[in-house]
Structure 1
Amino acid sequence: MPPVNPARVRFGTQGWNYPAWVGPFYPTGTRPADFLRTFARAFETVEIDSTFYAIPPASTVRGWAQRVPDGFVFTCKMPQEITHERRFAGCEELLFAFTERMRELGSRLGPILIQCGPDFAPRQGKAFAEFLQLLPRDLRFAVEFRQPAWVRRRVLDLLREHRVALALSDGKWIPREWLLKLCEQPTADFAYLRWMGPDRTITDYSHLQVDRSVELDAWARMMPVLQGQVREIFGFVNNHFAGHAPASVRMLQERLAIPTVDPLSIGEQPTLF
């Protein structure tokens, strides 16, 4: 049954540890140790990328939680050892170790992103289906497929059975038209959106370099539909989407009449492309 009230929308970026943001986003002179604390003054969620490479020490996870205010939510990527190396086989102990570690975030822990590799194909679906049965039911998970062949009714039904959201990632893998249509048939009571960009040619993250107005307008038009289907929406922009993720997030917020933080209030100078 669709929720009675429109979904809460949380927009943030993929990561926060970018020295190039000092000046255009973080106040000049901001130390890396203060990046996250400053970030949390502008946005209320962020996707942790570093967990993809290794399970972080407990002290690191607790440190993240201590640097943000109540109500801030972290999402995180599942380790690549599970998704890319073991391809979901024989991962029960590793999955437990990872989820227990991320529980150190307490109430600040949001969905965990299961990012599949671009060569992970439906023929490996048996291992994936068995893996879904291992997921703790009290945590939220989203899965990102990078092959269009995964987008079929049988897979969507499987995700729905396990209350796992299909991550809708605007990039080079699945046509945007498909993603927008999938907003009408979510597989969980929350949605997980990612704006990746078509490639990784952008290497300077200090300012917007590509006009993504057409793409953002398309998503903004579909957002009310999605809000009527789920209880909460998480959305994260990558620097490669347009060059400077914080500015792209604000463009999304403005299109949806979501209050934004004045860039000057945290030392940011307006960015032009």
Structure 2
Amino acid sequence: MLLYGTSSWSERTWVGAFYPPGTKPGEMLTQYATRFSTVEADNTYYAIPSRKLVAGWEAKTPMGFVMSAKFPRSVVHAGTGEKPDATKLFDASETAKFLDVMSLLGPKCGPLVMQFPYFNQSAFRSLGEFLARLEPYLETLPKTFRYGVEVRNKAWLTPELTDSLRRHRVALVLLDLLYMPHPCDVELDLVTTDFSYVRLIGDRKATETAGGGKFDRIVVDRTERLKLWAEYLSNLGDKLPIYTYANNHYAGFGPDTARQLERLVEGLKLDR
């Protein structure tokens, strides 16, 4: 089962291009849920949302809708500057607050993703050192949620990482990011639990430059890259649920990227 959506739903330049003209910010999620069945909440990375806000998300979406979300920066990045402070990762109090508010989504709560930054050797000298911190943290998390782990160190895509995530039944997030390899180019089984999670991120700087700060149209042709994803996902899609989210920075307009990928996957199914 393949589910397609976007990273966030609140982009103001989508009004007129994706949302009806005149759509107000408070109406966007309701409108979004008429077009897609899932979304990734990006704003949870920057701050833990209030209970009122999350309850509003639940009320504005229909039964069967799925909202995934990122763990807050205070848990997975730590520190307030650009460089992560490895000594402050995995704050137990912040984790508890985040999971408490996300529980208000009930069955609409999708996977919760730990988006880790690139860690240089001043943060962790090796993958093993990182896992020595991550694994005890994963063991503390309640089993009532599903979790994903995103790493941005390409050298960490090894059996040591995937075996660790399998033991904890946590998904390895599959990325399309400028400096990370495509899953097709990795000689490793990257599926680590009973679902998979894909984030199409792209090259932020190049896309922002091409789009002039607006995200209402495709400005970078990612067709060939999306064909690779379609082939990869179509081979997995009948085996497990796959949550796939397109960022505006991938090609300029997240909704169109998500739909293009869906069309490519469906086309492959018809050809088989």
TM norm structure 2:
0.86
Alignment gaps of 5+ in structure 1: 1-7, 259-273
SS of aligned partner of 2:20: coil
Distance in 2 of aligned mates of 1:15 and 1:199: 15
In the TM superposition, residue 198 of structure 1 has moved relative to its aligned partner by: 2.4
1:80 partnered with 2:73: yes
Query: Partner of 1:235 in structure 2?
Result: 244
Give the number of equivalent residue pairs: 249
Answer yes or no: is the 8 Å Cα contact 1:141–1:164 preserved in 2: yes
Alignment partners' CA distance in 2, 1:149 and 1:137 = 29
Aligned to 1:269: none
Q: Which residue is 2:181 aligned to?
A: 175
Q: Secondary structure at the match of 2:242?
A: strand
- Structural RMSD (CA): 1.8
Q: 1:65 aligns with which of 49, 53, 58?
A: 58
Confirm or deny: 8 A CA contact 1:76 1:113 kept in the other structure: yes
Looking at structure 2, the residues matched to 74 and 179 of structure 1 have their Cα atoms a distance apart, in angstroms, of 29
| Alignment map for 1:54-133 (pairs within 5 Å) | 54-85=47-78, 87=86, 89=89, 91-119=91-119, 121=124, 122=127, 123-133=129-139
SS at match of 1:136: coil
Partner of 1:208: 218
Task: Tell me the residue number matched to 1:34.
Answer: 27
Output the CA distance in 1 between the equivalents of 2:185 and 2:115. Answer: 16
Q: Secondary structure at the match of 1:167?
A: strand
**Quick one: structure 1 residues 180 and 221, their matched pair in 2 at CA, closer, same or farther if it must change by over 3 Å?**
farther
Q: 1:90, CA displacement in angstroms?
A: 5.6
Q: Give, in whole Å, the separation in 1 of the partners of 2:243 and 2:187.
A: 17
Cα distance per residue 1:226-269 (max 9 Å; x no partner)? 22442x110000001000111111101111229xxxxxxxxxxx
Percent of aligned positions that are identical: 34
TM-score by length of 1: 0.86
On the 8 A contact 1:89/1:131 being kept in 2, the answer is: no
With 22-31 and 116-125 compared, the bigger mean Cα shift is at 116-125
Q: CA deviation at 1:154?
A: 1.3
Task: Give the Å deviation of 1:135.
Answer: 1.5
Q: Distance in 2 between matches of 1:103 and 1:179?
A: 37
Whether the 8 Å CA contact 1:169–1:179 is kept in 2: the answer is no
Secondary structure at 1:154's aligned position in 2?
helix
Tell me the residue number matched to 2:82.
none
Specify whether residues 179 and 139 from structure 1 end up closer, same or farther in structure 2 by C-alpha distance, changes over 3 A only: farther
* More divergent stretch after superposition (119-128 vs 55-64): 119-128
Contact 1:186–1:229 (8 Å) recurs in 2: no
Superposed structure 1 runs of 4+ greater than 3 Å apart:
86-90, 177-182
Deviates more, 1:50-59 or 1:200-209: 200-209
Offset at residue 157 of structure 1 (A): 0.6
